[in-house]
Amino acid sequence: MRDRLLAQLGPRDRSSFLLATVIVALLAGCGDLTGRPPNVVLYVIDTLRADGLGAYGGAKATTPHIDEFARQGVVFEQVWASSSWTRASMASILTGRHPWNHATAGRADRLPEDLTTLAAIFSERGYATALVSANPNVGSVFGFDRTFDATFELFTRSQPGVVRGSELVATSEQVGGDAIGWIEAAPRPFLLVVLSIDPHSPYTPPRRFDPALERPGTRVTGLPASINRKDLSQRDKARIRELYRAEITYNDHSFGAVLKALDEQGLRNDTLVILTSDHGEEFWEHGRRGHGRALTEELLRVPLAIRHPMNPRVPAGGRIVHPGQSVDILPTILDLVRVPVPDGVDGRSLLGTPRTPDEPLLAGLELDGIEMLTARDSRWKLVWDVRQSQLQLYDLQTDPGERTAVDVTRDPLARAAQQRLRDALETDIREGRQRRPERSQAGPLPQNVEESLRALGYIE
């Protein structure tokens, strides 16, 4: 009927009609103008700092596919992870809850069965769902397979055939291959969650992505024996950072292959694609390399880009500067597909009302004897070491590298900011107790899971 009406209108009236149609759609908040429920691909790159991408100003980044993807959609410039290690952060992404409210923060914790997850929400609406994971922290042993129709756990091999100790880290290329295979056969609509392990250590990019296989003055490699040495020179450290960037470039190539497969399947316009990371990585900015031991900006600032060509709320070239956090990803996805957000979610849609400058972002770390909380607003950042009963406040306007804590006894403004941020954490923790699930513990680890965790540095 719409086409017949357009045929009867003159050029000017036809343009007015089409413009009015778009405006009505926008005002109605209808999102996808096709009216069909979109497919959803949530692609998470493990251990990717925001500044590792050209789209975020990474001066040495070589990420053409991700950068082009970012230009085709909306980039969220200020997003912080909910924790600085994978299981806790991924649980926040998939439930929209802070780590203390999803009870999946510790080394032995499983995702509680009574939590509502992204997969459960989409399954209830008739979506086919799948998880492709290269990190055993996000797999069946720890409850992440629950409510997915299919789960592909790739940490048991990196090459077909016999599994050897050196083959326990699947590459992003293999992760992408399994994701593409599932997409080709999946019913429509579908939800696919992908967790690719590159550029998590060990930093071992394929030779074709390494810009300098031999560098005079250093023989360092990306393997644990090298990257964990205490006597590394500045040249050695530069080489390790180069290997990390090379792995990002490799994953950029693998992500590009997934996007190409969507195009070849004719799914580009029908698919909402979200790219993000679970956490970042430190490279000696604070005397450490790695993650899961602190809550610094290098660990918490992550990329987030969303593309959906048929959705006017996700315009190409859009950049959103107001702050967000990983718990906002679930409600943002649900907002875009017009699905109600379930009770108990801590986040909110990043396409809704922006946070005020004083409204804090929250994160936490509870791992291997470390228990830390952090809250930050547009200027101040509080780091609370709960075990040590220590509070440190940083002024990110004058000290963005978190080098020197502010002496709050000499600065009334800083003292008030510290109290306000601590109150925000205590209030959220207190109010979350009523809906917090019971902690669930994983049993003895299967040998392949334990060996893979060891290969990734989670077990010494």
Give residue 445's pLDDT band: very low, low, confident or very high (50, 70, 90): low
Judge residue 237's burial from the number of C-beta atoms within 10 Å of its C-beta, 0-12 exposed, 13-18 middle, 19 or more buried.
Answer: middle
What is the SS3 assignment for 184? helix
Q: The tokens 């290690």 sit on which residue? A: 85
User: What pTM was computed for the model?
Assistant: 0.88
d(CA 278, CA 371): 19
The answer, yes or no, to whether residue 231 has pLDDT greater than 70, is yes
Contact 232, 208 (CB under 8 A): no
d(CA 42, CA 33): 21
What is the SS3 assignment for 349? coil
Token digits of residue 174: 């293999």
Structure confidence at residue 165 (pLDDT): 45
Mean pLDDT on 379-403: 96
| Angle at CA of residue 222, ends 163 and 240, nearest 5° | 160
Report which of residues 159 and 131 the model is more confident about: 131
- Which residues on neighbouring strands pair with residue 44, listed in sequence order? 195, 276
Token digits of residue 182: 């599932």
pLDDT tens-place string over residues 171-194 = 999 999 999 999 999 999 999 999
Mean pLDDT on 318-337: 97
Contact 115, 438 (CB under 8 A): no
The answer, yes or no, to whether residue 164 has pLDDT greater than 70, is no
The answer, yes or no, to whether residue 79 has pLDDT greater than 80, is yes
Structure confidence at residue 8 (pLDDT): 42
Token digits of residue 401: 């590298």
For all residues of the chain together, what is the average pLDDT?
88
The answer, yes or no, to whether residue 32 has pLDDT greater than 70, is no
Report which of residues 8 and 431 the model is more confident about: 431
Structure confidence at residue 456 (pLDDT): 64
* Residue in 275, 370, 284, 384 with CA at minimum distance from that of residue 332: 275
Domains in the chain and their CATH numbers?
Answer: 32-356 (3.40.720.10)
